[in-house]
Amino acid sequence: MKNWLLQKLFIGFLGIIIVFTIAIGFAFFFATKSIVQTSYMEKSTLSAEFLVDQIDVNKVQQLASNPVENEIYTELQQQLTDLLELNPLTYMYIIVPPLPGETEATTLVDGGDFSTGEVYKIGETIEGIEYNVVLEGLEKNGSFSQYQETEDFGNLIASYVPLKDEHGNIFAIFGVDDEFNLLGTIQERALNDTLPLFLMTIIVLSAIIVTVAAFSLYRMFKPIISLREATLAMNEGQLIDATRVIQQIDMTKTSAVINFARDFRSTLQSFTRLVGNVSKFLKTLVSTSQEINIVSHNVKQSSVSLKESIIEINDGIREQQSIVETANSNFKHMETQIEHIHGHVHTVIDSLSATTSLIEQNAENASFVSTKVEQMAQTAAQTADEVTLLATKYNSIEEMVGVIQQIAEQTNLLSLNASIEAARAGESGKGFAVVADEVKKLSTMTQHSAEHIRAEIEQFKKVTEHVLAQITVSTSDVQAGATLVKNIQAELQTVLQSSKLVMTNVESVSESSNTIRSTAQLVNDSIQQTYTITNKILHGSETISKTAHVQDDAVLDLTTSVQDLTTVVDNLDDLLKRYQID
């Protein structure tokens, strides 16, 4: 088991090392390519920045403003061609924005021989150079380089630097292409020089990792190996050996395997106890089977005695049924009489209920009338007080009328004096005499009005005194009526209490009749049940008699079953002997 596990682990880790080595090789290959590309791009960018300083930017700007093949174009083309011959570069050119509707850059001037056909004419589109992409890179970083794969020239590194006017605006772009066909050679040499060292390092580290991992896995799988050995021992019946193997496992740690080992140990202990208990149970079962044999013999003897007792029970039951039938007839007659009594009691209860309701309604009406009468008495008394107050006010008005009459007399006297003085004045006093005459008329009118008011007040005073006398009489009558209504209400309450007491007594009689009727019904039901039970007992005794015969056959079957049980116990005892628990 251990060797097999170690072989599996070794093969697994060997596969991991191989995959890991291949992955590192690919990563190293692509990393080398990226490093070399970056280095070439930086070299090409430096070359472009160096060469652009040797170009006459003013002439380039003039040509860009008037892109035709003239003397400036020829001079710049020759200058680029000379620089291309002096420097190890593949191609050198100056580009301007694309034509309308195009995205690729337009040639302004490039270096090379026109006779070879490998150069572009002014205004031609250069394939593969996206002007806006290059321009965006220049505006962002100040220079721009990219890797290109072409069918005619192979792999190239294209680097670009901007050409700016006096305002700092880019009007053209200077670009150089550098051949990049040595990448494979550089990668191969780098792999040959460094890959063996990497492989050796990986192998050594892998060996260390495999050793540590194998030791750790062995320690991790050791409980599983012990569990397998314990399971095999348990399958062979060696419960003691299985327990000993389980006890060798270190249970102090916590893991899924250790938890399973704890559960397995608990299961093994439970199974061991189960085997012991089953063994004890078998011994008890053997003793029980022997006792069952004895009991079956006793049952056979008791069945004979049971048959004789059943005959005597049947005779007694038939006699009891005759007595029950007589009692049932008597109770049915009594139940009919109780029903009549109960009906009469209900009639009385209904009449008393109606009477009580009427008395309660009359008592409520009397209470309402009493309340209203008391309110009327209070209103009459209040009215009398107000009429008395009104009479007092009449006296005050009469005094005021006297004052008005005195004022009228004084006014009349003043008007007389004024007339006398007006007569003395002659012509000059005529106007004053007219006023005095009008004042006299007003005084006379005031005296007449005061006398009329005094007469009306006398009439009102008499009417008020008459009303006050009538209110006094009415108040006395109302108070007497209120007292009478209260007496009637008290008498109605007394009658109501008596009626309720009678109602309670009648209801008690009704409840008693119900109780008697229920009791009679229960007794009758009990008699019926007794009659039914006696029938069932009679039928049961006959069944028991038949069962007694069946019991004899059952005793024989029981004896056979005990013999079969003994055989099963012997087989189970042989099975338990496989497991050693002592």
Q: Which residue has the higher pLDDT, 317 or 559?
A: 559
Helices 239-247 and 256-425 sit at what angle, rounded to 10 degrees?
60
CB contact at 8 A, 105 and 173: yes
CB contact at 8 A, 421 and 429: yes
Amino acid at 534: T
pLDDT at res. 29: 64
Contacts of 503 (CB under 8 A, 6+ apart): 349, 352, 353, 356
pLDDT at res. 182: 59
| Per-residue pLDDT tens digits for 178-188 | 887 655 666 66
Q: What is the DSSP letter of 119?
A: S
pLDDT at res. 94: 93
| Per-residue pLDDT tens digits for 195-225 | 677 677 777 777 777 677 666 666 666 677 7
pLDDT at res. 495: 65
Q: Which residue has the higher pLDDT, 243 or 75?
A: 75
- The helix, strand and coil proportions of the chain, stated in percent and rounded to the nearest 5, come to 80, 10, 10
| Per-residue pLDDT tens digits for 369-389 | 678 767 766 776 777 677 677
pLDDT at res. 108: 93
pLDDT at res. 96: 93
Helices 183-235 and 2-52 sit at what angle, rounded to 10 degrees?
160
Three-state SS for 172?
Answer: strand
Kindly state the average pLDDT of the residues 93-98: 92
pLDDT at res. 128: 83
CB contact at 8 A, 418 and 431: no
pLDDT at res. 331: 54
Q: Among candidates 327, 365, 376, 361, which has minimal Cα distance to 478?
A: 376
Per-chain mean pLDDT for the chain? 74
CB contact at 8 A, 82 and 69: no
Q: How far apart are CA 203 and CA 490, in angstroms?
A: 122
Beta bridge partners of 154: 150
Percent of the chain with pLDDT over 90: 9
Domains of the chain: 2-213 (3.30.450.20)
Confidence of residue 175 (pLDDT cuts 50, 70, 90): very high
Q: How far apart are CA 437 and CA 445, in angstroms?
A: 12
pLDDT of residue 276 exceeding 60 = yes
pLDDT at res. 320: 60
Percent of the chain with pLDDT over 70: 64
CB contact at 8 A, 84 and 129: no
Q: If you count DSSP H runs as helices and E runs as strands, how many of each does the chain have, helices first? A: 8, 6
pLDDT at res. 76: 92
Structure-token pair, residue 423: 């007569």
Confidence of residue 312 (pLDDT cuts 50, 70, 90): low
CB contact at 8 A, 206 and 13: yes
CB contact at 8 A, 502 and 352: yes
pLDDT of residue 568 exceeding 70 = yes
Cβ neighbours, 10 Å, residue 89 = 20
Structure-token pair, residue 188: 């191969």
Helices 430-576 and 256-425 sit at what angle, rounded to 10 degrees?
170
Q: Which of 266-280, 313-327, 437-451 has the lowest mean pLDDT?
A: 313-327
pLDDT at res. 41: 80
Q: Which residue has the higher pLDDT, 256 or 512?
A: 256
Radius of gyration of the chain (CA): 70
CB contact at 8 A, 51 and 85: no
pLDDT of residue 95 exceeding 90 = yes
| Per-residue pLDDT tens digits for 21-75 | 777 766 766 666 677 668 778 888 888 889 988 999 999 999 999 999 899 999 9
pLDDT at res. 179: 81
- The per-residue DSSP string of 173-210 comes to EEEEEEE---HHHHHHHHHHHHHHHHHHHHHHHHHHHH
Confidence of residue 494 (pLDDT cuts 50, 70, 90): confident
| Per-residue pLDDT tens digits for 455-464 | 777 786 777 7
Most distant CA pair in the chain, distance: 176
Q: How far apart are CA 211 and CA 201, in angstroms?
A: 15
Buried b / exposed e over 512-551, threshold 16 CB at 10 Å, is ebeebbeebeeebeebeebbeebeebbeebeebeeebeeb
Q: How far apart are CA 95 and CA 324, in angstroms?
A: 133
Confidence of residue 136 (pLDDT cuts 50, 70, 90): very high
Q: Which long-range contacts (CB under 8 A, 24 or more apart) does 330-338 make?
A: 331/520, 331/523, 331/524, 331/527, 332/524, 334/520, 335/517, 335/520, 335/521, 335/524, 338/513, 338/516, 338/517, 338/520
